[in-house]
Amino acid sequence: MALAVIALAFIRPIQWLEHGAIEWARDNPSQVPVAVAIVPVLGALLCGAIQSIFKVKLRAHGVSSVLYAIHRKRAQIPPILAVRTWLGSTATISSGGSAGPEGPIVTIGATLGSSIARFLRADPQTTTTLVGCGAAAGIAAVFNAPITGIFFVLEVLLRDFSLRTFTPIVIAAVFAAATVQTLIGTPEPLFGVGAELFKGTGEGLTITTAPAFALLGIVCGIASVFFVRTLQASEVAFAKLRIARWMLPATGAAILALLGVLHVAIAKDMPSFGEGLLPPFYGNGYPVARAVLEPSFYTRETALVAAALLIGLAVVKCVATSLTLGSGGIGGLFAPALLIGALVGGAFGSLGEFVPIVADVGPARLALAGMAGLVAGTTHAPLAGAMLVYELSREPSILLPVILVAALGTIVARLLERHSLYTAELAALGVRLGSASDLSALRRLRVGDVRLREAVTVRGSAPASSLIELARGSEEFVVLDESGALEGMIGARDLRIALVNREALPLLQVRDIARTGIRAIDRDLPLDHALDRIERGPLPVRGDNGEIIGVLTRGRVMRAWRRHMEQDR
């Protein structure tokens, strides 16, 4: 409940400033070009100053910093991060920076959860859960969408669907949403896109509409990759600039302002998208999304023009967001992804006059589904993306289409780009994200999936001194008796013990220093069981015909597991 009040205190000033800017632009059209050119740079300068004053040792930015803290700092997040994020994102978004408030509220909520855990002296597992509770409550409060908050935390932050994690996160998200609804007196989302906008747009999934939604999912996956790579390229480019770090956001804002001035100069006769004279790629973009989701926006006569306009704006929004956040501005990626998804879906739907399978759905419904596809594709969180659009629309019949689009968008995005918007920065820092599902990978993998070490066999009756020569090519030996049956194993540790008493080796046979009483393991044994079996040392692996085909070591198991987890992500 406390996080819900904090969310209101955080987002309301941003909304008031944005609405005030729109009204001011309508009343003072002649002064808009000057404001468009100056205000973003001033906001970015203020953001850079805030970052210089409130310095944080935590690496990465935004939601990525929360992920870094969870996986590298035992979920210990410095409280100063919440202050820095609050003030910096307010300066960035309210001055026209292309970003949203959802990412910052995730960081603020996660920091609050970490601070509570520190006060309670909680263990690392409980601290991580409390961080997740704070993040889920923040999203639930801002979007008034508790299910979205739950799945975002479980899919993106914690990657853990265990009951111990799931239950407290559900409680935190539900209470946050209930508190917001009580305080504002309405179940509508805080950012102004209400359920009434989606009435009549939710046609159920049928055999005739499924191909259009499936094709849109593929398009959204490709668009997601373009967004991710554009942001990555921007971050790399700004990192190479030899200027003061606190000036970087202003540099990006200056380029953004140039785009804004060009828009004001050449787009006087183009649709305003509900933002008056202000560039539609400034700010969080929710008024633009409202316009794109209106069925009346699309007409048969201007289908191609609308498609070109929407695609162009989607590309510019990607560039604007990359300039804002890639240069070091503070803000979230949820809102830009929602807008870009709506633009891509609307452009795709505008082609309904030329593509028969699209005509049965309509551009407004495809714009709605596109929002889910872009959020899912950029975050690699299909459930969060689908549930977000479902909770915004409150239309049950739209659930299956958005799940389909979100799932396909995620699949295509992961095939083309293995990292999401949040994990790309962590990958550059060498951070591999783990999860509770990592153990299930060991259960899925079998011994036969591991590249075994070649088996070097030796007779148990051979003199022990012969191992010194053989040890130059191997450290593990499979000991066989005269009939070829397994008699034991000799590992590097056994050899070291034997070499301590080297003068006794000529008097010993191989079987005298071998570990006896061991059994070969089968190729189809799960790796989690194999790990238990090789605790005392490497073991031989038996083939389908009973012959020894190799030796399994702990190092080989861990390399196979790591390789599988990297491919799985």
Neighbours of 438 (CB within 10 A): 15
**Domains assigned to the chain:** 2-428 (1.10.3080.10), 438-568 (3.10.580.10)
Query: For 380-526, where are the alpha helices, taking DSSP H only?
Result: 382-393, 399-416, 423-428, 438-444, 466-470, 492-500, 510-513
Contact 275, 285 (CB under 8 A): no
User: Mean pLDDT over all residues of the chain?
Assistant: 83
Phi, psi of 425 (to 5 degrees): -65, -35
* More confident site: 3 or 136: 136
Q: What is the pLDDT of residues 313-338, one digit of tens each?
A: 999 999 999 999 999 999 988 889 99
**CA–CA distance, 375 with 373 (Å, rounded to integer):** 6
- Read off the pLDDT of each residue in 398-411 and give the average, rounded to a whole number: 93
Least confident of 52-66, 147-161, 231-245, 350-364: 350-364
Angle at 180 (CA atoms; ends 172, 202), nearest 5 degrees: 95
Q: What is the pLDDT of residue 498?
A: 67
Query: For 124-247, where are the alpha helices, taking DSSP H only?
Result: 124-143, 146-152, 163-184, 210-239
Contact 67, 433 (CB under 8 A): yes
**CA–CA distance, 556 with 358 (Å, rounded to integer):** 51
Hey, what are 57's tokens?
Answer: 């040792």
Neighbours of 301 (CB within 10 A): 8
Query: Which class for 164: exposed (0-12), middle (13-18), buried (19 or more C-beta within 10 A)?
Result: exposed
Phi, psi of 332 (to 5 degrees): -105, 165
- Read off the pLDDT of each residue in 447-462 and give the average, rounded to a whole number: 83
Query: For 199-275, where are the alpha helices, taking DSSP H only?
Result: 210-239, 248-266
* More confident site: 75 or 431: 75
**CA–CA distance, 495 with 461 (Å, rounded to integer):** 17
Least confident of 49-53, 70-74, 92-96: 70-74
CA 287 to the chain's CA centroid: 26
- Side chain identity, residue 139: I
Least confident of 144-153, 418-427, 433-442: 433-442
Q: What is the pLDDT of residue 270?
A: 57
**CA–CA distance, 13 with 194 (Å, rounded to integer):** 19
- Read off the pLDDT of each residue in 31-58 and give the average, rounded to a whole number: 90
Q: What is the pLDDT of residue 234?
A: 94
Whether pLDDT at 402 is above 60: yes
Instruction: Provide the pLDDT confidence category of residue 436 given band limits of 50, 70 and 90.
Output: very low
Phi, psi of 549 (to 5 degrees): -110, -10
Q: What is the pLDDT of residue 192?
A: 47
User: In the 8-state DSSP scheme, what is residue 447?
Assistant: G
How much is the CA Rg of the chain, to the nearest whole Å?
29
* More confident site: 215 or 526: 215
Percentage of the chain surpassing pLDDT 70? 86
**CA–CA distance, 271 with 288 (Å, rounded to integer):** 10
Q: What is the pLDDT of residues 463-520, one digit of tens each?
A: 877 776 666 656 678 888 887 788 888 777 777 766 666 666 676 787 877 878 788 8
